Chains A and B, each alone.
Chain A
Amino acid sequence: MTTRPGTLLEVTGLTSHYGRIQALKGLDLAVAEGELLALVGANGAGKTTLLRTISGVQPASGGTIRFAGRDITRMRAAERVRLGIAQVPEGRQVFGPLSVEDNLMLGAYTRPRSDVAEDIERIYAMFPILKQKRREPAGTLSGGQQQMLAMGRALMARPKLLLLDEPSMGLAPLLVAEIFATIRKLKAAGTTIFLVEQNAQAALSIADRGYVLETGRIVLQDSGPALLANERVKEAYLGI
């Protein structure tokens, strides 16, 4: 299959299993360069599984994943990071016992050491609170600060594609707004973003395009505003 020009990530017929349970049932989607794509769906629809499979920490049982024109379906997770896929995982997953600065430094594990200091300053400029807490163990930060750290850690890899898994989960409304403002800024700076959210309203209102995932299948796709106006989406995900 040939990839359309401008397509950064292309997923075709992707399936994945946990033991006998099939979590992804033949999924097709594409993310274009520079685009902010949102994927919404209920709990258990397979959103997190999809991101884990794209990152390579969950094996694909069928189908293909192509990134920047290369087939990465069987590639190891660390190599995918090297190619430019970074993920902010669900639940932050910061390295609790290590300091904030060490977490950021490890985010740049695949990058030349000479870039690290400069990039850390870039992240501190984006999230000044992290600079204040640079020496503290990441596990002592609040939920919102951990979310910023997890995003900072992923950005340290200078990704071509940023995967965000439920960045608003468990955060107070004010912090959610701050996180979404950051996502908009990243997009404006040209980062390609694949955002997975239960907060469909917030996600679709900043997205160029959106997909709706139900029990391991894509059931709808359209532009962000169109999905927000879609009756089915309104009823199922927006509570209107």
Chain B
Amino acid sequence: MAEFLQFLLSGITVGAIYALVGLGFSIIYNASHVINFAQGEFVMLGGMGTVFLMAAGLPLIVAMPLAICVVVAVGLILEKLAVEPARDATVVTLIIITIGASIFIRGAVEVTLGKDFHRLPGFSGDEPILIGGAALQRQSLWIIGALIVVVAGLKWFFDHTRLGKAVLATSHNRIAAQLVGIEVRTILLVSFGLSAGLGALAGILTAPITLTKYDIGIMLGLKGFAAAILGGLGSGFGAVAGGIVLGVIEAMAAGYVSSAYKDAVAFVIILGVLFFMPSGLFGAKGAERV
């Protein structure tokens, strides 16, 4: 029982990280129908940025928001310089552009900051809390708490602000959005900025647990993508549920089967969802009344 609880707790923790990354995928997908494969790089940049800002002598409380701002700026620059100039290209072309951008960002970090692993200290110490024989890392509470705050914030943004509703309208019908005077360029910028910020937050929160490195974004990005696919691409609630489910299954597989298969779980899930239920758990069904 203690063993099961242990796996469950660590599963929910990583699941919350996947959920944050998956939300980033969903937001950009909604606004542009592009799968942004540079999402994992935002995660890496958040963690690495904070590590190096702290190494430069800044306290966490300053380094963290500063790193998030830097990553948001990277997201905006990516949209402005790489995605917007190709706005008339097909979605596949745009996706390939994001893959290129992710390779570029990873390479730039490798060359400038090096290839070493880095670790951030836990936000409230590294002493675990014991619950029913299982050890809960204090950082897990930060991660889960951040996810709850982010989900509430996004819900407020999309339900109660004009800009949030404009993002939804653009995602539903881009031409009609332009006809009411919504600047699609602005909406794309907002989505990339928001996704980059969420990615950076995920990267910073997870750095005390999983460590961070220039190429950590590849795997976290793919896991977040799996979470978004599992929940139904474009559904915010789906990305969160998909992330938690994926994290828990992964932790159970690693615990009860073998940790060698841990990463395979995400990919089996991607394949399974794409084969058997392409719209995921909570995605929009294909049919729509016109």
CB of A109 within 8 A of CB of B176, answer no
* B288 / chain A contacts, CB cutoff of 8 Å: 96, 139
Interface residues on chain B, number (Cβ under 8 Å): 20
CA of A76 to CA of B179, assembled, Å? 10
Give B180 Cβ to nearest chain A Cβ, in Å. 5
Give A236 Cβ to nearest chain B Cβ, in Å. 29
CB of B175 within 8 A of CB of A89, answer yes
CA of A106 to CA of B169, assembled, Å? 8
CA of A95 to CA of B178, assembled, Å? 12
Binary contact readout A18-61 vs B (1 if CB under 8 angstroms, 0 otherwise): 00000000000000000000000000000000001001110000
CB of B165 within 8 A of CB of A98, answer yes
CB of A91 within 8 A of CB of B178, answer no
CA of A89 to CA of B179, assembled, Å? 8
User: Which of the 9-residue segments A64-72, A78-86, A119-127, A227-235 touches chain B?
Assistant: A78-86
* A3 / chain B contacts, CB cutoff of 8 Å: none
CB of B179 within 8 A of CB of A55, answer yes
* A156 / chain B contacts, CB cutoff of 8 Å: 180
CB of B180 within 8 A of CB of A107, answer yes
Are A109 and B179 also in contact (CB < 8 A) when A93-B173, A139-B289 are?
no
Decide if B166 is an interface residue (CB 8 Å cutoff): yes
CA of A86 to CA of B176, assembled, Å? 11
Decide if A97 is an interface residue (CB 8 Å cutoff): yes
CB of B180 within 8 A of CB of A109, answer yes
CA of A77 to CA of B180, assembled, Å? 9
Indicate which residue in B168, B169, B173, B178 contacts A78 across the interface (CB closer than 8 Å). Answer: B178
CB of B289 within 8 A of CB of A110, answer no
Indicate which residue in B162, B181, B290 contacts A105 across the interface (CB closer than 8 Å). Answer: B162
Give A102 Cβ to nearest chain B Cβ, in Å. 5
CB of A106 within 8 A of CB of B166, answer yes
Decide if B218 is an interface residue (CB 8 Å cutoff): no
* A78 / chain B contacts, CB cutoff of 8 Å: 178, 181-184
Decide if B155 is an interface residue (CB 8 Å cutoff): no
Decide if B172 is an interface residue (CB 8 Å cutoff): yes
CB of A95 within 8 A of CB of B179, answer no
Indicate which residue in B162, B172, B175, B290 contacts A97 across the interface (CB closer than 8 Å). Answer: B172
CB of A81 within 8 A of CB of B179, answer yes
Decide if A94 is an interface residue (CB 8 Å cutoff): yes
Q: Which residue of A lies closest to B178 (CB)?
A: A77
Q: Which residue of A lies closest to B168 (CB)?
A: A98
CA of A146 to CA of B162, assembled, Å? 21
Give B70 Cβ to nearest chain A Cβ, in Å. 30
* A52 / chain B contacts, CB cutoff of 8 Å: 175
CB of B176 within 8 A of CB of A93, answer yes
Indicate which residue in A102, A109, A113 contacts B181 across the interface (CB closer than 8 Å). Answer: A109
Give B214 Cβ to nearest chain A Cβ, in Å. 39
Give B234 Cβ to nearest chain A Cβ, in Å. 11
CA of A150 to CA of B289, assembled, Å? 15
Are A57 and B180 also in contact (CB < 8 A) when A93-B173, A95-B168, A96-B288 are?
no
Give B179 Cβ to nearest chain A Cβ, in Å. 5
CB of B169 within 8 A of CB of A93, answer no
CB of B162 within 8 A of CB of A82, answer no
Give B16 Cβ to nearest chain A Cβ, in Å. 27
Q: Which residue of B lies closest to A156 (CB)?
A: B180
* B290 / chain A contacts, CB cutoff of 8 Å: 91
CA of A89 to CA of B162, assembled, Å? 22
CB of A86 within 8 A of CB of B162, answer no
Q: Which residue of B lies closest to A95 (CB)?
A: B169
Give the 3 A-B CB pairs with smallest separation, nearest first.
A81-B181, A110-B181, A93-B176
Known interface pairs A78-B183, A81-B181, A110-B180; 19 further A-B residue pairs with C-beta atoms within 8 A, sorted by A's residue number:
A55-B178, A56-B178, A77-B179, A78-B182, A78-B184, A81-B179, A86-B179, A86-B180, A89-B175, A95-B169, A96-B172, A98-B165, A98-B168, A105-B165, A106-B165, A109-B162, A110-B181, A156-B180, A157-B181
Give me 10 A-to-B residue pairs in the complex whose CB atoms sit less than 8 angstroms apart, sorted by A's number.
A56-B178, A57-B175, A57-B179, A89-B176, A98-B172, A106-B162, A106-B182, A109-B180, A113-B162, A139-B288
